[in-house]
Chain A
């Protein structure tokens, strides 16, 4: 019976993967753009493989990751903006 339930769920899961792909495509155009970052299991923590994989669904971890990544993204975007501005003013100086 468990096997049967799993088979039914597997078939539905495949369709939902297609749904998520389709939703991401719409989100890209209509919603806030997103990027995906993947994280590898750090060296020295091989024994905690299971716990590492569970982090993907752990609410506390996701909140922390969101905060930390948000800070990093802002830092890098700020840096990129400053560099672009510097480059622009350098070009303006060269021109005249």
Chain B
């Protein structure tokens, strides 16, 4: 049975999620309200001491996130990703099928490095411009870009904020992430883009002469592009090697950020202002809410409940984790879902279960649930907004047809992959 303190903390948790998902307040403010209530009740009831509140926040996650954000904000400023998008469109040579797959794959690839919000603004702008010039229906291109951006980065430690949270909590390194999930992500890219193609094929438009332009000739500052490319290569190399040096990914991200600011000639103040502080404060506040839930015994209760439901079977526990975290991510922020599930999964350690199996299931679940409906995540909300800018009013149902279909296809494949990867 849950104690009265547990029920209060569950109430605070639900209130925070409601405030955040209904957008009554900004995401960060919702988490900070929850954190304040959590701290107040914890201190008043003697559940924890003031010093412990600070310990609830895992600053390694914050440092990793800030480091990655600074590095890629600097790279994005160089215009490198815009050039990549321009080349992808140019080489489609006016063929809507090639253009469709180019936009799908470049969207997924770009989101490996950029934040999902930055990636969708870039790719929607690219797709919107070419759709207007070629007189194509923008919906297939916009919706597919959003779904592929949500998918991109599933197999890397730095591919999404939820992955960073899970990576730091589980201790899984950059290479381990790739070992367990890279094949799955590549297969999901192909499977998802083919599903979207079959769905949107009649709406892609006809082959027409494309606009002629020279992306390389348009670059005014080629030196900055070279520097940005060097930063990306160096950054990925460091992430591939850091496990041999006995340092955490957060240190590598921090060093990369400093190097990026040093090498590329950008105004550091501008970069700092453009960091996604909203997400950082959301995570900081949510860590405190999760700390309160932990102290009140709620997380241990749910950890046991998951194991009981799965009858102690790791296959069932993993599939339960995959589908339940994906389903929750459809309705609430997947960052919140990752922050909630990581301690619950962590508590299952030491029971003889294959923890990598469970962590991989959580990574897939939190990533794949984020594009099922137009309100499942910031990427989908911005896609709807960008379509409106192009004078297209896409209904909730129309987006969800593509979003829900691809989410189900992805989750079915992910279940099959997990069983194949860890069960054989």
CB of A27 closer than 8 Å to a CB of B:
yes
CB of A29 closer than 8 Å to a CB of B:
yes
B-contact bits for A2-19, CB 8 A (1 contact / 0 none): 001000100110011011
| A15 to B274 CA separation, bound complex (whole angstroms) | 12
Contact yes or no, B385 A12, CB < 8 A: yes
Contact yes or no, B381 A30, CB < 8 A: no
Q: Residues of B with Cβ closer than 8 Å to A?
A: 23-24, 26, 82, 85-86, 89, 117, 121-122, 124-126, 128-130, 132-133, 211, 213, 215, 218, 381-382, 385-386, 389
Contact yes or no, B125 A26, CB < 8 A: yes
Contact yes or no, A22 B211, CB < 8 A: no
Tell which of B23, B126, B129, B211 has the most Cβ of chain A within 10 Å: B129
Among all A-B residue pairs, the 10 with the closest Cβ atoms: A22-B125, A26-B129, A23-B125, A30-B211, A29-B218, A8-B23, A19-B121, A19-B386, A29-B213, A18-B121
CB of A25 closer than 8 Å to a CB of B:
yes
CB of A44 closer than 8 Å to a CB of B:
no
| A28 to B217 CA separation, bound complex (whole angstroms) | 13
Q: Which of B124, B132, B215, B389 is in CB contact (< 8 Å) with A29? A: B215
> Can you offer 28 A-B residue contacts whose CB atoms are under 8 A?
A4-B24, A11-B23, A15-B121, A15-B382, A15-B385, A16-B386, A16-B389, A19-B121, A19-B382, A19-B385, A19-B389, A20-B389, A22-B124, A23-B125, A23-B128, A23-B129, A26-B85, A26-B128, A26-B130, A27-B129, A28-B218, A29-B213, A29-B215, A30-B129, A30-B130, A30-B133, A31-B129, A31-B132
Contact yes or no, A29 B86, CB < 8 A: yes
Q: In the assembled complex, which residues on chain A have CB atoms less than 8 Å from the CB atom of B213?
A: 29-30
Contact yes or no, B24 A15, CB < 8 A: no
Q: In the assembled complex, which residues on chain A have CB atoms less than 8 Å from the CB atom of B126?
A: 26
Known contacts A23-B125, A23-B128, A31-B129; can you find 11 more A-B pairs with CB under 8 A?
Answer: A12-B381, A16-B385, A16-B386, A23-B389, A25-B82, A25-B125, A26-B125, A26-B126, A26-B128, A28-B218, A30-B129
Q: With A16-B389, A30-B89, A30-B211 given, is the CB distance from A22 to B121 under 8 Å? A: yes
Q: In the assembled complex, which residues on chain B have CB atoms less than 8 Å from the CB atom of A30?
A: 86, 89, 129-130, 133, 211, 213
The smallest C-beta distance from B69 to any residue of chain A, in angstroms, reads 16
Q: Main SS of the interface on chain A?
A: helix
Q: With A11-B26, A15-B121 given, is the CB distance from A26 to B86 under 8 Å? A: yes
| A11 to B24 CA separation, bound complex (whole angstroms) | 12
| A31 to B125 CA separation, bound complex (whole angstroms) | 12
The smallest C-beta distance from B224 to any residue of chain A, in angstroms, reads 15
| A47 to B290 CA separation, bound complex (whole angstroms) | 57
Q: In the assembled complex, which residues on chain A have CB atoms less than 8 Å from the CB atom of B121?
A: 15, 18-19, 22
Measured CB to CB, the nearest residue on chain A to B129 is A26
B-contact bits for A29-61, CB 8 A (1 contact / 0 none): 111000000000000000000000000000000
Measured CB to CB, the nearest residue on chain A to B218 is A29
| A4 to B26 CA separation, bound complex (whole angstroms) | 11
Q: Which of A19, A26, A31 is in CB contact (< 8 Å) with B82? A: A26
Q: In the assembled complex, which residues on chain B have CB atoms less than 8 Å from the CB atom of A23?
A: 125, 128-129, 389
Measured CB to CB, the nearest residue on chain A to B127 is A26
The smallest C-beta distance from A68 to any residue of chain B, in angstroms, reads 24
| A15 to B278 CA separation, bound complex (whole angstroms) | 13
Q: In the assembled complex, which residues on chain B have CB atoms less than 8 Å from the CB atom of A11?
A: 23, 26
Measured CB to CB, the nearest residue on chain B to A11 is B26
Q: In the assembled complex, which residues on chain B have CB atoms less than 8 Å from the CB atom of A20?
A: 389
| A18 to B218 CA separation, bound complex (whole angstroms) | 21
Measured CB to CB, the nearest residue on chain A to B83 is A29
| A27 to B390 CA separation, bound complex (whole angstroms) | 13
The smallest C-beta distance from B93 to any residue of chain A, in angstroms, reads 14
| A12 to B381 CA separation, bound complex (whole angstroms) | 9
Q: In the assembled complex, which residues on chain A have CB atoms less than 8 Å from the CB atom of B117?
A: 15
| A4 to B389 CA separation, bound complex (whole angstroms) | 22
Q: In the assembled complex, which residues on chain B have CB atoms less than 8 Å from the CB atom of A22?
A: 82, 121-122, 124-125
The smallest C-beta distance from A28 to any residue of chain B, in angstroms, reads 8
Q: In the assembled complex, which residues on chain B have CB atoms less than 8 Å from the CB atom of A28?
A: 218
Contact yes or no, A19 B86, CB < 8 A: no
